[in-house]
Chain A
């Protein structure tokens, strides 16, 4: 099957640079599947997992915190403020962040902080899900 190159770049450096058969990501407008030969596209991403299907039924999950996806002739770039491969996720930190965010949401303070806590909770949950291999 035809493959294409995927780059996931964060401000702290590149996270993924590999060839895949299929990439599926959660864009803000809904789930998005990309294969080789896709038209050039830009789409913002939700906080969620990006699945990279490498062929031979092997696939890899990457936790991506927002950012956006850019497709151009057989080259996909994801620019995110944070991204981790499943094996690189700091599970203890994610658990702690999740607990902190949950505690914050229960206290219910002013609106801005509430929104931030919600985002933090989503990022932490996303990391935990990716770590456990759930989509």
Chain B
């Protein structure tokens, strides 16, 4: 049995750990609410751009744009959105597991796909497996603004236009609520599944021409799809971290409880033993 002192040390250190996890949980909770409001303020932009894209792409059948056409797939791009740090429960591992499984199912050789990593954990995961991400961004702030991710997002869309890959999937964690986040696979490019959200399509006059507008509009649309996924992923990350830290705090409390019990038992045993010794000593004197 551990000595009283050993147990005491363990209780103190567990208490300190639980204070830290508790603090991290509260930090994540406040970051989550900010992330949620960021995601919310992005909605009007996304809705609007979707509406206009739909009305142009569906409204006039004869418009063509490289981004709307599926071409024979020689190479697939995977955009993987993870966090930079761990301590977020299964957040990163479930995304990575799912994308890695998909890659192994779909491809036989490394020449058939490329990986773009947003987040340190994802980048390192593929590096360990001998796949160097062709583009990666780490150190994104917790509340990324569009300007923060503009570079990588534009690069990702440009690489498709340049023919580096013929389709692009993104993997991220979709935020359902604070306790549920689902790993989501979404095909970003080519833009084949444009749907009209409102149903009513306005007929516009195009200045100068539908083709030239699509030239501006479609990259912007694809970029906002990715940015939207990133915001979604960030909200999930904070939610996952909050839950993970909540669990850690609960576990620490449970551990402290059982250690305290053990400590009290040991203390009681020591007292009992002392009394027995004194009584034994006194009996020997009589």
Of the candidates B145, B146, B217, the one whose C-beta lies within 8 Å of that of A44 is: B217
Which residues of the partner chain B approach A53 to less than 8 Å between Cβ atoms? none
Which B residues, 188 to 210, have Cβ-Cβ distances below 8 Å to chain A? 202-208
Q: CA separation between A40 and B55, bound complex, in Å?
A: 12
Given contacts A13-B41, A79-B45, contact A68 B216 (CB under 8 A): yes
- The residue in chain A whose Cβ has the minimal distance to the Cβ of B47 is A9
Q: CA separation between A40 and B115, bound complex, in Å?
A: 41
Given contacts A44-B216, A81-B146, contact A11 B205 (CB under 8 A): no
Q: Is A88 an interface residue (CB 8 A)?
A: no
Which residues of the partner chain A approach B216 to less than 8 Å between Cβ atoms? 28, 44, 66-68
Interface size on A, residues (CB 8 A): 27
Q: Is B181 an interface residue (CB 8 A)?
A: no
Q: CA separation between A57 and B223, bound complex, in Å?
A: 38
Interface size on B, residues (CB 8 A): 29
Whether B45 pairs with A43 at a CB distance below 8 angstroms is no
Given contacts A42-B56, A44-B216, contact A13 B42 (CB under 8 A): yes
Q: CA separation between A68 and B145, bound complex, in Å?
A: 20
- 10 closest A-B pairs by beta carbon, nearest first, are A13-B41, A43-B207, A11-B146, A44-B216, A9-B45, A42-B204, A29-B208, A40-B204, A41-B205, A12-B145
* Chain B interface (Cβ < 8 Å from any Cβ of A): 38, 41-42, 44-45, 48-49, 52, 56, 145-147, 150, 202-208, 212-213, 215-217, 220, 223-224, 227
CB<8 Å pairs between A and B, sample of 27:
A7-B44, A11-B45, A11-B146, A11-B224, A11-B227, A12-B42, A12-B145, A12-B146, A13-B42, A14-B44, A28-B212, A29-B207, A40-B203, A40-B204, A40-B205, A42-B52, A42-B56, A42-B206, A42-B213, A43-B213, A67-B216, A67-B220, A68-B217, A71-B204, A72-B204, A79-B48, A82-B147
